[in-house]
Structures are given as structure tokens and as C-alpha cells.
Chains A and B, each alone.
Chain A
Amino acid sequence: MAMTQPSPQSGPRLSMRTRRAIWVWAFLALPVLFYSVIRFYPTIDAFRLSFTNWNLLSPPEYVGVQNYRDMFASAEFWQVFRNTFAYLIIGTPISLLLSFTVAYFLDRIRFGHGFLRALYFLPYITTASAMGWVWRWFYQPAPTGVINSVLGSLGMGQLDFLRSTTWALPSIMVTAIWAGLGFQIIILMAGLRSIPQTYYEAARIDGVGEFAILRKITLPLLKPTTVFLVVFSSIGFLRIFDQVYNMTTNDPGGPLGSTKPLVLMIYQTAFNSYQMGAAAAQTVVLFTILLAISLLQLWILRTR
């Protein structure tokens, strides 16, 4: 590292201020370069590419907003758009409700607290692609699949799970909710702990019931945590890919595109069809949605 050499310090003529400025920019030189070349330039490049038609072989050709027009006119895009929002709109509330219920009760338990917490947290650190295959195996028809075998032994009907256009998306969503639950529980428990105990004690002395305490004290004071988790979880569902890709490798996003999210469409457009311009336009749509959600979060927390 060039920075370790004391050269900037040895010049006695340099003022303290100048010397420090030299250190600062020596520290920041590589990072500034990195963020410019690996973050900002590609962002601009993605916007620029979205106005071109490019298959990587012949030079890119400027086509104006044609990619966007084609995208918004295609039935596939709207199906993917609906799928993506189905993951988000169903997945986020369910996972929040589950994680809040667990966090609320787990927070009050002292016996075996760490052990129970570990059970819930463990799935969060697993590899999504590996667990995608485990869940895929769970969802197989009997006698292979665990769930259908249990249903069968209980004398109940079989479920098609990943082979059904209706149930494939919820089945994959369950895997994603399962994987993210532990994180939300930990964050919610930290949020619950940050509420001063005196509030609860005062309410109990006044004879306020547990449910009223939950509604009047816990939930309002937990709002910043909840807003953070809603946004975090929404962004996660908007960017869902690993689980879908691994659970539907024989027909990615299938059956009949019923599970395909935006990121999988981007992947296929760019790296299976090599339509770089069209794929870039799709990434711009993803960017816009994510930006809107982030701005919404800032706005909600500001008007608090």
C-alpha cells in the first residue's frame, strides 16, 4: 500500500491543513474510482442501453423509446409485473404478521429464549439456492414429496404445488417467507426492547388490558421498525430470483410463466436471448419501482 509511506508527512513546508487533505484524498482515491467506475458509470450505461437495440454481436443501434413501448405492449411483461407484485403484496403482510406474532411472544419468554430464537433465525443464514431444492423436493408428488406423503397418509387429497399455475407462485413464496422470517423476528425483538418498560408499568398500574397496551403503546412505538421492515421485505420480494430460478429450472418461471418475477425476466432477456437493450429497459422499470418505495419510506417517516 502506497498509503503507508510517510511521504506526505515528511514535507515540513506543507501546512497541517494541506497535509491532512493529502491524506484524505489518498484514502479516498481508490474508493472514488471504484464508485465511479463500478457503480455510477454502469447506472448511466444501463439507462443509455435501454434506448438501444443490441444483441452483443453487431454494434448497438439507437432506437429511442422502442424498448419501453414494446415492453409495455407485451402481455408477458404485464404477467411478470403481476407476479412480482403478487410476491410483494401477499408475501410482505404475511411475513410481517408471522414475525410480529413470534417476536411478541418470544420477547416475553426467558426459558430457552436463545434456543428458540436460534430455531427461527437459522433459515435466514442458509443458501437460497440450496434451500430452493429442499423445498422443491418437499413439494414433489407422493411418494417423493414429504408434504404430499403426509397429506396422503392423513387420507387427504394431493396438491400439485409447483406444477399448478395457481399454486406454484404461493409455494415459492412460502420458501421466501420462510427464509426471511428470522431476520424480521430479530429486528422486531430489538424494536420491542427499545420501548421503555416504564410505559408498560404505568399502563398496568392504570389497569389497562394487555390488548389495549399492544394497540396503544406497542404498535405505535414500533412504527419506525415496522416501516423499515415493510420496505426491506418489499424490496426483497421485488428482487426475488434465487428461489424461483432453482425451484423451476426445467422451465424457469413456469409453469406457463406463472411464477416468473421481474428479475428472472431480466436475466432471460439479457443472458438467454441477448437482447441487452430490452433487458436494460426492464432494469430501469425495476429501478423506478424500488426508488418509489424508498422515497415512500422517507416520506412516511418524515410525517410521523
Chain B
Amino acid sequence: MAAIDTPASRPLTMTRIRPGRILAWTVLFIGGVLMITPILFMFSTSLKTAGQIYDLRLIPQSPTLANYVKVLTEGQFLRWFLNSAFVAICVTLSNVFFDSLVGYTLAKFRFRGRQLVFIAILSTLMIPTEMLVIPWYIMSANLGWLDSYWGIMFPGMMTAFGTFLMKQFFETVPDDFIEAARMDGLNEFTIWWRIAMPLVTPALSALAIFTFLGNWTAFFWPLISTTSKELYTLPVGLTSFAVEQAIQWEMIMTGAAIATIPTLIVFLVLQRYIVRGVMLAGLKG
């Protein structure tokens, strides 16, 4: 896996810098800067006053955090922020626990019905969320789950994708380790939790990062299942806030920036794991 991340480890085919290389680098650099331009402008505008937003300079003349103070104190952004964090963390913990438990069971036990359970879970990958939201909505309405944290979280508590990913990784854990633990008299749950889980931490971190980011940015189901503002997640809250603000773009950009900052922090801190996780997930999937 390390080879993927370190281009320097590839055999040196170039001994001197060619002009073509410099051109390619420059074009790629310009393209890359263009890619993050929307994000840069979002931050730039969030630091401007209403009077300055027509001044399209990227570096604000007199940057101010007033918009942030206003949005965080007057709006419900803090609440939405905490809602999103709570929902995303709960769903992530649930996926890390259950997806790996099921993946482990399918990879390391031979039992009647194993193939059936595996294919049944895998087949749910074919079912689009959009098809399920109407029955989920009706189910939530009947059980009183609308407008509740549980109502936002329940559809994502386990995923076929995560289960499949974890199964692939548990298959690489040697059976000898598990047999040895059984000889020592450990029960099956302890073997999974104490012996097998620590051996698949790269996959677990990939699963955790993806589940967290996926739920942090989730929009469709939270939009449907919540109607009271106290329960909005950040993306849904941002939409309702932006609609209210109409053309106050500096406020909208501040809201968008608040929604983006946590993902940026996660990305900057865990960049290596995220990129590796995308590769793992994409190549296994």
C-alpha cells in the first residue's frame, strides 16, 4: 500500500528536467488552483461586510469575523452543527461495530446460511436510497420517529458496503490467530474484538472516515425526516438559512464556510488515510 503514496519509490526514468515536465506541472497547478477557487472565494466573502461583496478581490481589504459571530449567535448554526456531529458520530460508531462484526462473521465462520446472508446483504447495494425513503417516511410517521435523532440515523446504522469492505479485510487475518485464541479459552466475541479488530485498523479507519463524511454531508433523508428547525442537520439548516437570507451572500458564504470547515480539518489531518481509503474502497468495490 505504501507504494501507492510515494511516487519517489518508482524507478527513476528521468535524469534531467524536461521542459515538457515544467509545462505539465504548471498546467496542473493552474487547474488545481481553479479547483479550489470556489472554496477560496467562499472564505474570502465570509470575511467581508455586505458593502464589500461586490469587490471581488480574493484577499478582503479589511477582513472581519463579524459575519461568523452574527451567524453563530443569531442563527441556529451551533445547534445544527452539534446535531450533525451527534448524528454522524453515532452512525459511524454503529457502522464500525456492526459492519465489522457481520464482515468478520461472514469471513471467518462456516455455517449454514452463510452464502444466503452474504448475498442478501450484498444485494441491498442495488437498492437506491431514493426508493426506500417513502416507506421509511411512512414507517417513521407510524412509529413517531419523524423529527427525532433516531429518525435521521436509523436508515444508515449498517451498510452493505461497509460489511463487504470489512469482510474482504477479515479474510486476510490468518485463521491460526483465531484458533490460538480459542485454545486459550477466549470466547468468540472477545476473539473478534480483541484479536481480529486490531489487525484490520486501516480498513476500520477508512470505514469510519467515509461513514462520518457521508453522514456529515448527507442531505436527502435529513431533509425529509425533519421538519422542526431544532433537529435540522447542518446541510439542511444551511439550505433553510440561505433561503431566508435571499441575497445576503456574505451571510450565506459564512454559513457555507461553517459547514465546510470541519470537513477541511478532517481532510488536512487525515489526508493520507482518506486518499488511501478511497483507493481501498474504490478498488474493492
Contacts and interface: CB of A to CB of B under 8 A. Distances in A.
A45 B134 CA distance: 9
Contacts of A228: 282, 285
A127 B259 contact: yes
Interface residues of A, number: 96
Given A6-B187, A239-B128, A187 B235 contact: no
B275 A121 contact: yes
B217 interface: yes
Question: For chain B, what secondary structure do more than half of its interface residues adopt (helix, strand, loop), or is it mixed?
Answer: helix
Interface stretch (B6-14, B60-68, B199-207): B6-14
A116 B32 contact: yes
B3 interface: yes
Interface of B: 3-4, 7-8, 10-11, 21, 24-25, 27-29, 31-33, 35-36, 38-39, 41-42, 45, 53-54, 56, 98, 101-102, 104-105, 109, 111-112, 117, 120-121, 124, 126-139, 141, 154-155, 157-158, 163, 187-190, 192, 213, 216-217, 219-220, 223-224, 234-236, 238-239, 242-243, 247, 249, 252-253, 255-257, 259-260, 263-264, 266-267, 271, 274-275, 278-279, 282-283, 285
Contacts of A106: 28
A234 interface: no
B239 A283 contact: no
Given A20-B109, A190-B4, A40 B242 contact: no
Contacts of B135: 41-43, 45-46, 49
Interface in A128-148: 128-131, 133-135, 137-138, 140, 143-144, 146
B17 to A, nearest CB: 9
Contact of B263 (A8, A108, A112, A125): A125
A122 B154 contact: no
Contacts, number: 263
A285 to B, nearest CB: 10
Question: For chain A, what secondary structure do more than half of its interface residues adopt (helix, strand, loop), or is it mixed?
Answer: helix
Given A109-B25, A187-B278, A246-B239, 7 more contacts: A3-B189, A4-B190, A35-B158, A46-B134, A111-B25, A122-B35, A242-B220
23 contacts: A21-B112, A27-B101, A28-B102, A30-B98, A31-B121, A31-B163, A102-B31, A112-B29, A118-B271, A119-B35, A121-B274, A125-B264, A125-B267, A127-B235, A127-B260, A130-B42, A133-B242, A150-B56, A197-B10, A242-B220, A270-B134, A283-B130, A286-B128
